[in-house]
Each structure stands twice: as structure tokens, then as C-alpha cells.
Amino acid sequence: MSDTPSEIAEQRYTRKVLEAVIRIGLIVLLALWSFQIFSPFLGPVVWGMIIAIATHRLFTRLESAVGGRSGLAATLFVLLALIVLITPTLMLSESIMTSAQGFSAQLEAGTVKVPPPPERVAELPIIGEQVYRTWSSASSNLEGVLDDFQPQIKTFSTWLLSRALGAGVEILLFVLSIIIAAIFLANAQACAGMAESICVRLAGERGARLIDLGRDTILSVARGVLGIAVIQTFFLAIGLIAANVPAAGVLSLIVLLFAVAQIPMLLLFLPIIAYVFATADTVIAIPFAIWSVFFSFADGFLKPLLLGRGLEVPMPVILIGVIGGMLASGIIGLFVGPIVLAVSYKLFTIWLGEDSAPLEEESSPA
């Protein structure tokens, strides 16, 4: 008994659906497999894209200076970036190692002396008496105090070692990101064309606008977050050095991390100010306190000037993206967060405009 035409059509339809499901499943499997292979390089590639966009103008000037040879310009770019990255890292590492070795040698020789605390330390609110007692004990019997805090010191040393190893890995990944950024910059036209094709394919005619929005957001964050962080760190480091605060170099690095992470700077500087008041003359302590408090709040009036400047997205959206992205994804989230929020905000406003356009046309007089 032969099948009827409707049964034959149904069988063909079922076969086509089954073939489509198999093809889609294979494509999804291939995409997941490819992502799993590529995922270890995702962070460096994203960083490379961000660095390439943020330094494109500098690279074009460098390329013009070497006669338009993009390969040579990319090589010089990598060398200059590595010098800027590695030189401070080596100097800071050497300073930390030298200080640690010197302190260890003095501790073994018994020559480490802690001066007695001034009486005004005990007058500090809340923590004054406890700090005064601990300081006095360290002045008279440093080894005993270190023995009392042995568990805390061991925990802190383990944490510091793990952070140091993690920082070493981050530096290697950042070096790889610089090399990837140089490859992007050397092929800037091709990369821009590919990005535009992808965005136009996904978002239609608005794809090019979204590319411009992402580029402007990266430049705004680089200028409004990293730029402000460098400015704050520079002036606060001057204050630390001028007040002769111990380990000013290490504290300056912590200041930079606080500024990038958008952590209130006074959380770090209030204990430092109290230390300077306790150990230095009032003539030095008061100007240091004013200087530190002023530049701790400097980001409050610099962000409206630099962050979100020239963008079609409100500054609060960018700021929320910076902080939220940093909390969710670390340093990369500092840039990815505001880009995602900016693009989402723009798509949302476009959708609202399209949705309200027919209503405006109907309500307008003929």
C-alpha cells in the first residue's frame, strides 16, 4: 500500500526538520568546542582590543614617524609598552625585596628599634588606647609582639605570596595583550572592516553607530578612570614622599589600585594621616593632611569633566558600568562594563523611540 501525498509531504517535512535540528546541534557543538579552546585567550584578546582602541591615535603618529611602515611601528609599540610596563615593575620589586631583606637582617641581628609612641597617640578617638599599648609593647619588646601576632603574620605572608604569584601571571598576560594589541593596530583597517560587518549584520544600519559608541566609551573610560587614577596617584605620592612616610613607593602602588578600583581613598589615607600626626611635627602633618584629603576627593570633580565626555550616554550610566564591571569581572570589567551598559542603554532608547514614533504620528494634526 503506497503512501498518500499528504503522508509523503509529512515525511519530507519531518526529515527536513530533523536535518535542520542536526545541523543546528552540530553548529552549537562546534561553537561551544571552539569557545572552550579559545577561552584561555579571551582575556588577553579583550585587553588587546581595549589597548588597541585606546592607543590608536598614538600608534598612527608612530606609524607616520617611521614612514607608514605598520610592521615596524607595531614592533616599536610593543618595545615601548614593555619598557613602560616592566621598568616600574622591576623597580618596585627591587625596592620591596631590598626592604624585606634589610628588615630581616636587622631583625636577626636584634638591631630593629621601634621608637616609643608620643602621648598624643593615646588621645586618638576609638583606637587610640589600643594603638598606644601595642606600639609601646613593640618599642620595649618587638620579638614578643611579633610572637603574639605570629598567626596573623603567617596568614598575611601566605596571602601576600599568593598575590605576588598572581601579579606575576597577570603581568605575563598583559605582555601577551600588548602583543595582540600591536597585531590589531598593524591591521587596523581590516579589523575595523570586520567589526563593522559583524555589527551591521547583527544590528542593521545602526551597527556602525554602535561601533562608534563602543570606541568612544573605551576612550572615555581610559581618560576618565585610568587618567584620573594616574593624576591622583601622582599628587598623593608627592605628599607621601614629602612627609617622609615609610614605604612611600609601595603605598603609591596601593593608591593606584584604590583609584582604579573606585575605592574611597580616605580608607587608606586616614591611618596614614594619623601616623604622620603621631610621628611628625605639626608644621608637616597639617599640610600633609590638607593635601591628602584634597586629592583623595579630586576624582569627585574630575569625573564629570573627563568621564563620559563627548558621549551620547549619560555619565551615571558610564559610572555604574565602571564600578559594576570592576566588581563583576575585575580590571577587564572596568572597560567591558560601561561598554555593555552604554550599548544596552542606546538600544533601549532606540527601541523606545521606534515604539513611540507611530503614536506621535497618529496624535499629530493632519
In a domain, 139, yes or no: no
Which residues are CB-neighbours of 108 under 8 A, at least 6 positions away? none
In a domain, 305, yes or no: yes
**pLDDT, tens only, 143-154:** 666 666 677 767
pTM of the model: 0.66
User: What is the distance of C-alpha 260 from the center of its chain?
Assistant: 6
pLDDT of residue 28 exceeding 90: yes
In a domain, 297, yes or no: yes
**pLDDT, tens only, 279-337:** 778 888 889 999 998 988 887 777 777 766 666 677 777 778 877 887 777 767 777 78
Question: Chain-wide mean pLDDT for the chain?
Answer: 77
What's the confidence (pLDDT) of residue 267? 85
User: CA 65, CA 292: separation in Å to the nearest integer?
Assistant: 41
User: What is the distance of C-alpha 110 from the center of its chain?
Assistant: 42
In a domain, 334, yes or no: yes
- Calculate the CA dihedral of residues 118, 119, 121, 123 and round it to 10 degrees: -160
User: CA 269, CA 232: separation in Å to the nearest integer?
Assistant: 13
C-alpha pair distances (Å), 249 with each of 93, 98, 295: 10, 13, 17
Give residue 291's domain range. 188-350
* Residue 357 binned pLDDT confidence (cut-offs 50, 70, 90): very low
Between CA 8 and CA 13, with CA 10 as vertex, the angle to 5 degrees is 110
Q: Is 203 left (phi over 0), alpha (psi -120 to 50) or beta?
A: alpha
In a domain, 211, yes or no: yes
In a domain, 40, yes or no: no
User: CA 265, CA 236: separation in Å to the nearest integer?
Assistant: 10
What's the confidence (pLDDT) of residue 274? 83
Query: HSE of 242 in the Cβ direction (CA atoms, 13 Å)?
Result: 16
Secondary structure letter of residue 365 according to DSSP = -
In a domain, 325, yes or no: yes
Query: DSSP letters along 218-253, please?
Result: HHHHIIIIIHHHHHHHHHHHHHHHHTT-TTHHHHHH
In a domain, 336, yes or no: yes
Q: How many domains would you assign to the chain?
A: 1
**pLDDT, tens only, 65-95:** 888 888 888 889 888 888 877 776 666 666 6
